[in-house]
Amino acid sequence: MALPEPILEMRDVTVRFDEKIVLDRINLRLGPGELVMVVGPSGSGKTTLLRAVNRLNEEYPGSATHGLVRVRLGGHWLDCYAENFPLTDLRLRVGMVFQNPNVLPFSIQKNLTLPLCVALGMSKVEAAQRVQRALEDVWLWEEVKDRLRHSALTLSGGQQQRLCLARVLALDPAILLLDEPTASLDFKATRKIEALFQSLKERYAILAVTHSLSQMRRLADRVLILRGGHLVSELSRAEFQNQANCLEIMEEFF
Amino acid sequence: MTATQKHSLADTATTAFCWSAAALTGVAVLAVMGFLIFRGAGTLGLELFFGQTPWWDALTGARPVFDGLWSALAGTLILVVLSCLMAVPVGIAGGVYLSVYASRRYQSMTGFAVDLMAGIPSIVMGLFGFSMIVVLRHALFPHAKTCLLLAAVCIALLILPYLVRTTQNALSGLPEHLRLLGPSLGFSTWQNTRHVLLPSAGRGILSGVILAMGRAAEDTAVILLTGVVAQAFLPRSLWDKFEALPFRIYYLAAEHRSVAELDQAFGAALVLLMLTGALFCLAFLIQRTMEHRWKK
């Protein structure tokens, strides 16, 4: 069976910070509607891999990226590292959720409308219309609809993380990058967010980093194992679903 | 003595030291303020400010004030406002540049220059202003003389490095996830600075502004060489000589001819303290109002 055309492709991607090589010749394909998880020990370059897609590594001094990263948006392939590439557009279409819920110290409503007004140039009225849909997408509307003007910091950790996800979804992305989005949450909040990702999988291509092997087994369609900046293995769902097999592989690579 | 006992002894000693240092600071502040109030409170009153001139006439400028603090108070207030108007926007912009835009190399070079500038003694800054006027008189404007504007410019230069440094530190101190948030949502560098970083660093920047205001209000050495005089009326323009509270205090303390004049010096010191306190409150209110608007 021929693989569907991917929506994100990385070819021989190497990322350095000053002289240190953090990612070494990474090759990766992400298909539409696919949830690929990247696992690996701390410092193996997982976060850098995600940030190589939306070029967030460049926010740090001394970073250099080589190789090809391209995304297929609206039927066209775009080379993310091409000169004069519209970086803002890329980051709008490739949304990112961070490890810690980083809500802005503003109201719930403003957390959602600010990026719409600033990055997309929407009017306040247009932006407000998107708020409900985004909150419904993350199952937060019923919980916060009466207190949209309250500070986002009054929400629980799990709610804050869902708000962060809503903020990204409101921008209408095609690809989601999730950097250990449940790392700082308790069991119940984690389960809720995992269920949410299950439901979002059909609409977005998702590249996620996780530390939790059980989460990986619950959610991933495919797993990439990173170690010391190298992609050392790729597992299909059948391979990591088998518990004994999975443990064996993990023992070997961690 | 066991290792645990040693550790707990070190803990107790550190705690005691920190407590006493904090207490000592508090006592020192209270002692200074208490002494000022004790010596100066008795002089507070309309006469301290306006002498024999009716206060309404003095405020409207209808009649000059001869032996009150009014001219000095107004002089200092205008000086602080003018120098802050010049230094605050430039200082904050400089801090933003260093923290957000500058390359690492440029950051360390300029950072060094800013530190160097912060270390300039104020009398040297005064001399700089004075020599500037001398040069201007010879080169371009034969009528140039030391004045309010020159003093304000020199004070602005004096407080600029504090503003740059505190802004830079407040921005650099923001957690990484907050600094990456804007770019990850498609904000440009300026949009991120304007909508995410500056509001989040507001309080840190405010403390720099307060520090700068205090410095501008109390400095005597700079204005001594750039236009302050012992006896003047309200400055009629930016090119006029002026009076200032710190200089008045110095002058009265050094050259008083009677106990009443010395008491007036204490009164003036108390007024200066209240003036800076009021300015701090104003800065605090402005910051809070802006923060409130941002958060909505």
- The structural domains of chain A, with segments of one domain joined by +, span 8-102+174-253
Q: Is B2 on the interface with A (CB under 8 A)?
A: no
Residue A1 has pLDDT above 50, yes or no: no
Residue A147 has pLDDT above 60, yes or no: yes
Q: Which residues of B touch A106 (CB under 8 A)?
A: 199, 294-296
A30 phi, psi to nearest 5 deg: -125, 120
- Residue range A210-233: average pLDDT? 89
Closest Cα partner for A172 from A110, A104, A95? A95
How is domain A8-102+174-253 classified at the architecture level of CATH?
3-Layer(aba) Sandwich (3.40)
Do B91 and B162 touch, CB atoms closer than 8 A?
Answer: yes
What is chain A's length?
A: 254
Taking phi first (over 0 means left), then psi (-120 to 50 degrees means alpha), and beta for anything else, what does residue A185 get?
A: beta
Measured CA to CA, the distance from residue A94 to residue A175 in angstroms comes to 5
B181–A104: do the CB atoms touch at under 8 Å? Answer: yes
Q: Which residues of A touch B177 (CB under 8 A)?
A: 98-100, 102
Which residue in chain B is spatially nearest to A91 when comparing CA positions?
B186
Do A115 and A167 touch, CB atoms closer than 8 A?
Answer: yes
Which residue in chain A is spatially nearest to B291 when comparing CA positions?
A106
Residue A251 has pLDDT above 80, yes or no: no
Q: Is B172 on the interface with A (CB under 8 A)?
A: no
Task: Give domain B46-295's CATH superfamily.
Answer: MetI-like (1.10.3720.10)
Taking phi first (over 0 means left), then psi (-120 to 50 degrees means alpha), and beta for anything else, what does residue B44 get?
A: beta
Residue in B106, B180, B181, B185 to test binding to A, most A beta-carbons within 10 Å = B185
Residue A246 has pLDDT above 90, yes or no: no
* DSSP 8-state symbol, A107: B
Residues 6+ away with beta carbon under 8 Å from B238:
B82, B147, B148, B149, B152
- Residue range A119-134: average pLDDT? 90
Measured CA to CA, the distance from residue B74 to residue B272 in angstroms comes to 11
Q: Which residues of A touch B179 (CB under 8 A)?
A: 59
The Cβ of residue B174 has, within 10 Å, a number of other Cβ atoms equal to: 16
Residue in A60, A88, A112, A171 to test binding to B, most B beta-carbons within 10 Å = A88
**Torsion angle, alpha carbons of A123, A126, A131, A132, to 10:** 160
In this complex, the residue of A89, A105, A119 whose CB is nearest that of residue B295 is A105
Residue in B184, B190, B196 to test binding to A, most A beta-carbons within 10 Å = B184
Q: Which residues of B touch A118 (CB under 8 A)?
A: 187, 191, 195
Q: Is B77 on the interface with A (CB under 8 A)?
A: no
Numbered residues of chain A with Cβ closer than 8 Å to any chain B Cβ = 54, 56, 59, 61-62, 88-89, 91-92, 95-96, 98-100, 102, 104-107, 110, 114-115, 118-120, 149, 151, 167-168, 171
* pTM for the structure as a whole: 0.85
A104–B186: do the CB atoms touch at under 8 Å? Answer: no
Kindly list the domain boundaries of chain B, sorted by start residue.
Answer: 1-43, 46-295
Residues 6+ away with beta carbon under 8 Å from B114:
B94, B98, B161, B164, B165
Which residues of chain B are modeled with pLDDT < 70? Answer: none
Report the SS3 class of residue A27: strand
Q: Which residues of B touch A61 (CB under 8 A)?
A: 103-104
CA distance A51 to chain B (A): 9
CA distance B206 to chain A (A): 18
pLDDT value at residue A214: 84
A99–B177: do the CB atoms touch at under 8 Å? Answer: yes
Q: What is the pLDDT of residues A75-122, one digit of tens each?
A: 889 899 988 888 888 999 999 999 888 899 889 999 999 999 999 999
What's at A253, amino acid-wise?
Answer: F
Q: Which residues of B touch A92 (CB under 8 A)?
A: 185-186
Residue A220 has pLDDT above 60, yes or no: yes
Q: Is B186 on the interface with A (CB under 8 A)?
A: yes
In this complex, the residue of A62, A110, A119 whose CB is nearest that of residue B296 is A110
Q: Which residues of B touch A98 (CB under 8 A)?
A: 177, 180-181, 184
Size of interface A-B (CB pairs under 8 A): 65
CA distance A161 to chain B (A): 13
Q: What is the pLDDT of residues A12-71, one digit of tens each?
A: 999 999 989 999 999 999 999 899 999 988 889 999 999 999 999 998 888 999 999 999
Q: Is B195 on the interface with A (CB under 8 A)?
A: yes
Long-range contacts of B67-73 (CB under 8 A, 24+ apart): B69/B245, B69/B248, B69/B264, B69/B267, B69/B268, B69/B271, B70/B234, B71/B232, B71/B233, B71/B234, B71/B242, B71/B243, B72/B243, B72/B244, B72/B245, B72/B247, B72/B248, B72/B268, B73/B49, B73/B245, B73/B271, B73/B275
Tally the C-alpha atoms within 13 A of residue B287's C-alpha that lie toward its C-beta: 19
DSSP string across chain B: --HHHHHHHHHHHHHHHHHHHHHHHHHHHHHHHHHHHHHHGGG-SHHHHHTTS-HHHHHHTSS--SSSSHHHHHHHHHHHHHHHHHHHHHHHHHHHIIIIIS-HHHHHHHHHHHHHHHTS-HHHHHHHHHHHHHHHHHHT-TT----HHHHHHHHHHHHHHHHHHHHHHHHHTS-HHHHHHHHHTT--HHHHIIIIIHHHTHHHHHHHHHHHHHHHHH--HHHHHHTB-SS--S-SSTTS-B--HHHHHHHHHHH--SHHHHHHHHHHHHHHHHHHHHHHHHHHHHHHHHHHHHH-
Which residue in chain A is spatially nearest to B177 when comparing CA positions?
A102
pLDDT value at residue A3: 63
